Structure 1
């Protein structure tokens, strides 16, 4: 999963597993799985936002009008 949508989906599914489900499985702790999914989703959002912020940094130089009279 990539992007903001995938991260939000991980957080949502993890929250549903942790807080809204009452399923019981013998070999799997669904609360822990949900917490892990929410953590991975939050980590993914942080990484995605960091990469996106780096891409949007402008490296353009300011335009200077040298033809203007400076008297």
Structure 2
């Protein structure tokens, strides 16, 4: 389940808990909504911790210019005289 699925669980749980007044015999929808919100929060924290571990920090590197690629002929350096 990805981050989007976890957010959907939280939203559905909040709707069931706070926005409905349905009475279903044998099922307490407030408890079901709270359980869905808790499962969604656990999923978000798990997803974010896994994503943080996967992210690789690459140190910046300096570009080394190779001088063998420049054209040196008859006083012209890369198309400009004496530059």
TM tier, shorter chain?
0.7 to 0.9
Once residues 12 and 41 of structure 1 are traced to their aligned partners in structure 2, the CA distance between those partners, rounded to angstroms, is 9
Q: Give CA deviations for 1:20-69 in whole Å, capped at 9, x if unaligned.
A: 000001100000000000000000000000000000143x56758xxxxx
Equivalences for residues 46-57 of structure 1 within 5 A: 46-57=45-56
Following TM superposition, the consecutive aligned residue runs of length 4 or more in structure 1 with deviations greater than 6 angstroms are none
Once residues 36 and 12 of structure 2 are traced to their aligned partners in structure 1, the CA distance between those partners, rounded to angstroms, is 7
**Greater percentage in strand:** 2
Once residues 47 and 13 of structure 1 are traced to their aligned partners in structure 2, the CA distance between those partners, rounded to angstroms, is 19
Once residues 60 and 44 of structure 2 are traced to their aligned partners in structure 1, the CA distance between those partners, rounded to angstroms, is 32
Higher relative contact order (CA 8 A, sep 6+): 1
Report the count of equivalent residues.
Answer: 63
Task: State the structure with more CA Rg.
Answer: 2
Alignment RMSD: 1.7
**Greater percentage in helix:** 1
